[in-house]
């Protein structure tokens, strides 16, 4: 077993330091006093990076600037600058100036070019980011950096999260040991105006930017893109992966090498842990639900079915109630758009119990037994389509009174 | 003005009788005692009809049988038989037998062939329909029929609806006067297991089945297909339109004739009224919201934007809260999948007030003024895309605590 979850893989323990990365936090007073609301991740010279940004057509100013800078610095950024309290989204041209100025000021202090700094913001949207307060806090932030501040950074990037999300993996290739550490915040796509999904990961393995890019896209596809709370996406979502190469080995440029393979495994495992952590911490979520679809003609149709179920408010309120309402699941499958679906071949399971088949309640179905399963905090809703060998899973939560309360009262 | 809403067009007044149609209701005790839960609409010989059924791949047994019978009787049904209390959905082969037997027994009493009877069911799914009780009530139901029982029928088809939905239109063509009356039930696609959307309309105008079919599809597209509560569709949804031709005039077979044109106007107007009535009566709905998208390159993209907003739980909870949260609307527009959307050209309006433009809050925006508009029971959310001349509107409601309560506690 070459990839191991560190003892520190759950959020309660400390994430591992990554050679070549130093981390700092500071109170800048962006929105609330007494919050360490400005975070820096700085990287050793020669660090390579890749990033995945929101697919929303409305991108916040920092997303546009980060994308520009990443390209301009040839995928070798030296500093990630992350503020909470204000998303700098829906702020027009003035917001672009603010994002650029933050990078310029930080770069000047560190003797970097502005394009080596990538800005990230999360918080309220449509309000001007108080850039002077951010800039005033930069010198203290830069002084505060040290290798062991990952946990403070995981706290620093939180907005309405109730707990930090951080984890590490150790992996080895060709006799060398490496580490991968990541932090994440946000309740998935739960609240685009205050809970943008952000994740930052770094390894000391030496991996070329284009290899990082393809491995990150694959890992994100199987993790952050397979969680949903309510189907909404944010204007600020971003996942960044950096490889410092601080181990001093020569750069891995081959996606089929042993190192790339071992790293990919660690990356996928950590991204999945962080992504599931976001769903578990979704405010108003009382249940963590895996929706697992098998027997599809291809993976795409398995995902269509899984997301249609995961986005159904009727299914989500039934999950909240602990009601094994297979009729709602069946109706969601029926509108997922599958061509020539033979409905008599579909089975629905809760954990390992078959609750519906042949278009009707399963013969051995005992409601009290299934209702007991559904009262648990975590459950698996299985769908067997009976038309092929493909499978896919997504992770979601339920719709509760708290979901309405949090999202209805949020700005008041 | 040739098409007039009758004085009876709102649900509180009585719908108009339609020559050639008689209507009856009876207590069959399908699920609850003391409910007139079995309804018949019978048509004069020679009546033509058209129907639109659910697009869900899982169709309830009565939908499958109604579709078969309508074809087999050459679109000339004589009786619609509608029960509440049990949807006869998710009931497998035994459910098909029950639907067929209901038709056979009713046909035998009236000297019809079984295929001249169309069955409709709404209520709980996954439980056997007590067909013996239904059959036992048929003789009384048939005796109870009279031309003026439309309002009783509008009550009879209700499940969790809080009020009946019924309306009429008068129209004339070539010096002759006609009437169109319709009833509907259900809270749109709110609860597929107990609130299937059903609508039944009839006119005394003489119109060929294929003309009815094309006019009905167009009217449904612009009304029942443009309302949404939560994006879920039912296994039992159906809209049926009958033309008795009781006026004795010759059959209109030309969709471009004056009669077809005047009838189409009346039909579209009544379908829209009934559809909007379903949204207004959606349980847990505290607001009625028109989402009106203009300036699109084509109607399809206007609908994509309108439905993405209408289905966003974040927008719907903000509407419940009366919060003019344009950031959530903007994020929903941004993920609607429009190719090359220039976000700076998009405007968002509440009623006539511009709240966001150029990717930011509008210059003259006064939150207190807009918040006042949003406290009203009805409002219009306008989106101007600024890329063409197409437009489309959909109607929806908000997400409230009651929505969660009703859907979470529903089966208990």
pLDDT digits (tens, 9 = 90+) for A367-403: 888 888 888 899 999 999 999 999 999 999 887 877 7
Q: How confident is the model at residue A4 (pLDDT cuts 50, 70, 90)?
A: low
- What is the domain extent for residue B199? 4-280
Which of A317, A334, A405 minimises the CB distance to B407?
A: A317
Q: What is the CATH number of the domain that holds B228?
A: 3.60.70.12
Q: How confident is the model at residue A8 (pLDDT cuts 50, 70, 90)?
A: very low
Terminal alpha carbon distance of chain A: 51
Q: Which residues contact A350 (CB under 8 A, 6 or more apart)?
A: A324, A370, A373, A374, A379, A380, A381, A382
Bigger pLDDT: A49 or A230? A49
Residue A168 burial class via C-beta count within 10 angstroms: exposed 0-12, middle 13-18, buried 19 and up: buried
For residue A93, give the H/E element and its range: helix A92-110
Bigger pLDDT: A139 or B402? A139
Last residue of a domain, one of B280, B313, B347: B280
Q: Are residues B173 and B64 in the same domain?
A: yes
In whole angstroms, what is the distance from residue A162 CA to residue B281 CA? Answer: 37
Q: Do A338 and B399 lie within an 8 Å CB cutoff?
A: no
Q: Are residues A13 and A96 in the same domain?
A: yes
- Which of A135-139, B86-90, B195-199 comes out lowest in average pLDDT? B195-199
In whole angstroms, what is the distance from residue B84 CA to residue B312 CA? Answer: 31
Q: What is the DSSP string of A97-164?
A: HHHHHHHHHHHHHHT--GGGEEEEEEEESSS---HHHHHHHHHHHHHH-BTT-HHHHHHHT-SS-SS-
Query: What 8-state DSSP symbol labels residue A198?
Result: E
In whole angstroms, what is the distance from residue B273 CA to residue A8 CA? Answer: 60
- As a whole number, the mean pLDDT across chain A is 89
Residue-level pLDDT at B12: 45
Which of A91, A317, A331 minimises the CB distance to B192?
A: A331
Q: Are residues A201 and A300 in the same domain?
A: no
pTM of the model: 0.84
- List the structure tokens of A210: 């284009």
Angstroms from B202 CA to nearest CA on chain A: 29
Q: What is the DSSP string of B187-226?
A: -TTS-TTT---EEEEEESS-B-HHHHHHHHHHHHHTTGGG
Residue-level pLDDT at A144: 97
Going along A152-253, which residue ranges are E strands?
Answer: 165-173, 176-185, 198-203, 227-228, 238-243
For residue A81, give the H/E element and its range: strand A79-86
Q: Are residues A106 and A215 in the same domain?
A: yes
Q: How confident is the model at residue A320 (pLDDT cuts 50, 70, 90)?
A: confident
Catalytic residues of B: 196
**A295-314 tens-digit pLDDT:** 999 999 999 999 999 988 88
**A141-195 tens-digit pLDDT:** 999 999 999 999 999 999 888 899 999 999 999 999 999 999 999 865 443 344 5
Report CA torsion sign: B245, B250, B256, B262: negative
Last residue of a domain, one of A278, A296, A322: A278
- Which of B71-75, B265-269, B359-363 comes out lowest in average pLDDT? B359-363
Which of B95, B313, B335 minimises the CB distance to A233?
A: B335
- List the structure tokens of B30: 């399908």
ipTM over 0.85: no
Q: Are residues B266 and B125 in the same domain?
A: yes
C-alpha B119: how far from chain center: 17
Q: How confident is the model at residue A1 (pLDDT cuts 50, 70, 90)?
A: very low
Q: Do A57 and B338 lie within an 8 Å CB cutoff?
A: yes
In this predicted structure, the answer to whether residue B328 has a pLDDT above a threshold of 70 is: yes
Q: Which residues contact B108 (CB under 8 A, 6 or more apart)?
A: none
In whole angstroms, what is the distance from residue A255 CA to residue A243 CA? Answer: 14
Mean pLDDT of A185-208: 75
Residue-level pLDDT at A2: 47
- Which residue of chain B comes nearest to A189, CA vs CA? B314
The closest alpha carbon to A187, from A237, A153, A150, belongs to: A237
Is A222 within a domain? yes
Last residue of a domain, one of B250, B280, B310: B280
Q: Are residues A121 and A209 in the same domain?
A: yes
Q: Are residues A317 and A369 in the same domain?
A: yes
Q: Do B335 and A359 lie within an 8 Å CB cutoff?
A: no
Residue-level pLDDT at A3: 57
Q: Are residues B196 and B340 in the same domain?
A: no
C-alpha B300: how far from chain center: 21
Query: What angle (nearest 5°) sits at the alpha carbon of residue A204, between those of residues A198 and A205?
Result: 110
Q: Are residues B225 and B308 in the same domain?
A: no
The closest alpha carbon to B82, from B111, B51, B56, belongs to: B51
Residue-level pLDDT at A9: 40
Contact criterion met (CB below 8 Å) for A87 and A56: no
C-alpha B63: how far from chain center: 16
In whole angstroms, what is the distance from residue A28 CA to residue A51 CA? Answer: 26
Contact criterion met (CB below 8 Å) for B348 and B386: no
In whole angstroms, what is the distance from residue B102 CA to residue B114 CA? Answer: 9
In this predicted structure, the answer to whether residue B193 has a pLDDT above a threshold of 90 is: no
- Which residue of chain A comes nearest to B335, CA vs CA? A56
Q: Are residues A157 and A305 in the same domain?
A: no
Give, to the nearest 10 degrees, the angle between helix B313-321 and helix A401-409: 70
Q: Are residues B154 and B60 in the same domain?
A: yes
- Which residue of chain A comes nearest to B91, CA vs CA? A360
Residue numbers in B near A343 (CB within 8 A): 57-58
Q: What is the CATH number of the domain that holds B327?
A: 3.10.20.340
Query: Which is it for strands A4-5 and B176-185: parallel, antiparallel or unpaired?
Result: unpaired
What is the number of other CB atoms lying within 10 angstroms of the CB of residue A175?
Answer: 5
In whole angstroms, what is the distance from residue A27 CA to residue A39 CA? Answer: 9
What is the number of other CB atoms lying within 10 angstroms of the CB of residue A339?
Answer: 7
Give, to the nearest 10 degrees, the angle between helix B131-144 and helix B92-110: 30
Bigger pLDDT: A370 or B301? B301
CB pairs A-B closer than 8 Å? 193
Give chain B's radius of gyration (CA, Å). 22
In this predicted structure, the answer to whether residue B348 has a pLDDT above a threshold of 70 is: yes
Is A16 within a domain? yes
φ, ψ dihedrals at A290, nearest 5°: -95, 130
Residue-level pLDDT at A237: 86
A16-47 burial, b at 16+ Cβ within 10 Å, e below that, comes to bbbbbbbbbbbbbbbbeeebbbbbbbbbbeeb
Is A383 within a domain? yes
Q: Do A334 and B232 lie within an 8 Å CB cutoff?
A: no
Bigger pLDDT: B228 or B254? B254
Contact criterion met (CB below 8 Å) for B98 and B91: yes
**Quick check: helix, strand or coil at residue B258?**
helix
Give, to the nearest 10 degrees, the angle between helix B92-110 and helix B61-72: 40
Mean pLDDT of B376-399: 93
The closest alpha carbon to A50, from A222, A198, A209, belongs to: A209
Q: Which residues sit opposite A306 in a β-bridge? A: none
Domain count, chain A: 2
Residue-level pLDDT at A191: 36
Bigger pLDDT: B194 or B343? B343
In this predicted structure, the answer to whether residue A412 has a pLDDT above a threshold of 50 is: no
Q: What is the dihedral of CA A138, A143, A145, A147, to 10 degrees?
A: 170
Q: How confident is the model at residue B409 (pLDDT cuts 50, 70, 90)?
A: low
Q: Do A58 and B314 lie within an 8 Å CB cutoff?
A: no
Is A283 within a domain? no
Catalytic residues of A: 196
Q: Are residues A46 and A168 in the same domain?
A: yes
Is A96 within a domain? yes
Q: Which residues contact A352 (CB under 8 A, 6 or more apart)?
A: none
- List the structure tokens of B368: 């207190």
Contact criterion met (CB below 8 Å) for B40 and B13: no
In whole angstroms, what is the distance from residue A211 CA to residue A216 CA? Answer: 8
Which of A331, A409, A411 minimises the CB distance to B233?
A: A331
Q: Which residues sit opposite B237 in a β-bridge? A: none
Angstroms from B171 CA to nearest CA on chain A: 37
């Amino acid at each position: 077993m070459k990839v191991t979850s560190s003892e520190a893989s759950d959020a309660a323990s400390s994430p591992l330091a990554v050679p070549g990365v130093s981390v700092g936090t500071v109170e800048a007073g962006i929105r609330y006093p007494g919050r360490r609301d400005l975070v820096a991740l700085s990287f050793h010279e020669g660090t390579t990076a890749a990033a995945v940004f929101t697919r929303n057509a409305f991108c916040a100013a920092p997303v546009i600037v980060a994308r520009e800078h990443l390209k301009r610095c040839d995928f070798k950024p030296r500093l990630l600058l992350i503020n909470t309290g204000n998303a700098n989204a829906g702020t027009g041209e003035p917001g672009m100036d603010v994002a650029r100025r933050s990078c310029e000021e930080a770069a000047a202090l560190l003797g970097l070019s502005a394009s080596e700094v990538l800005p990230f913001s999360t918080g309220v949207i449509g309000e001007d980011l108080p850039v002077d307060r951010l800039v005033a806090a930069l010198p203290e932030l830069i002084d505060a950096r040290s290798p062991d501040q990952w946990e403070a950074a995981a706290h620093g990037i939180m907005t309405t999260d109730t707990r930090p999300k951080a984890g590490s993996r150790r992996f080895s290739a060709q006799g060398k040991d490496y580490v991968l550490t990541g932090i994440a915040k946000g309740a998935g796509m739960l609240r685009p105006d205050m809970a943008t999904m952000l994740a930052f990961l770094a390894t000391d393995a030496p991996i070329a930017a284009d290899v990082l890019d393809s491995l990150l896209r694959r890992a994100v596809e199987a993790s952050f893109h397979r969680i949903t709370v309510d189907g909404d996406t944010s204007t600020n979502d971003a996942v960044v992966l950096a490889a410092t190469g601080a181990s001093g080995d020569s750069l891995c440029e081959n996606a089929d090498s042993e190192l790339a393979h071992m790293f990919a495994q660690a990356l996928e495992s950590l991204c999945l842990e962080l992504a599931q952590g976001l769903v578990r911490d979704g405010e108003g979520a009382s249940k963590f639900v895996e929706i697992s679809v098998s027997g599809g003609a291809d993976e795409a149709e398995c995902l269509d079915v899984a997301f249609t179920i995961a986005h159904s408010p009727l299914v989500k309120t039934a999950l909240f109630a602990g009601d094994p309402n297979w009729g709602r699941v069946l109706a969601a499958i029926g509108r997922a758009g599958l061509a020539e679906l033979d409905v008599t071949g579909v089975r629905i399971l809760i954990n390992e119990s078959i609750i519906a088949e042949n278009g009707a309640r399963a013969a051995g179905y005992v409601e009290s037994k299934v209702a007991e399963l559904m009262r648990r905090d975590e459950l698996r809703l299985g769908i067997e389509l009976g038309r092929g060998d493909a499978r896919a899973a997504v992770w979601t939560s339920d719709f509760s009174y708290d979901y309405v309360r949090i999202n209805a009262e949020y700005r008041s």
